[in-house]
């Protein structure tokens, strides 16, 4: 198979022909861009939250949520092409969740917000 977006069409000889993905220039392309936007710095410090064992959370990946560090759907309405990181807490505990969106251990803070690169960045801008 050539890809998820491939189109099946009947060929002249009666068999089905698999054509490569066509250019999406419809309303779908506006809602689901081919190239996702880059995450933006929401804040330059992590947010401490108490996670409850067994509960599923959706961590904001795009940085545009007004409910940091969790997703409020802004990624969809701003057409970023990004999706939240869904995770389940293994135990009830207080953790620091990343809001600079540059962590190497998402959704948890790894101290990257202390770097010069993050500290020089404007809140709301990509790194």
pTM exceeds 0.85? no
Cβ atoms within 10 Å, residue 19: 12
Q: What tokens does 20 get?
A: 């490569």
Categorize the per-residue pLDDT at 40 as very low, low, confident or very high, splitting at 50, 70 and 90: very high
The answer, yes or no, to whether residue 9 has pLDDT greater than 80, is no
Summarised one tens digit per residue, pLDDT across range 58-89 is 999 999 999 999 999 998 878 888 999 999 99
Strands (E), 29-78: 47-51, 56-59
Categorize the per-residue pLDDT at 2 as very low, low, confident or very high, splitting at 50, 70 and 90: very low
Q: What is the mean pLDDT of the chain?
A: 85
């Amino acid at each position: 198979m050539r890809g998820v977006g491939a189109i099946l069409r009947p060929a002249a000889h009666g068999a089905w022909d698999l054509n490569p993905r066509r250019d999406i220039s419809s309303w779908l392309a506006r809602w689901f861009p081919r190239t996702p936007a880059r995450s933006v710095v929401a804040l330059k410090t992590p947010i401490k939250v108490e996670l409850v064992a067994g509960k599923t959370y959706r961590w904001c990946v795009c940085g545009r949520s007004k409910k940091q560090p969790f997703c409020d759907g802004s990624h969809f309405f701003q057409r970023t092409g990004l999706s939240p990181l869904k995770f389940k807490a293994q135990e009830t505990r207080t953790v620091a969740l990343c809001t600079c969106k540059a962590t190497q251990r998402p959704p948890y803070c790894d101290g990257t917000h202390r770097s010069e690169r993050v500290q020089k960045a404007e809140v709301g801008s990509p790194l």
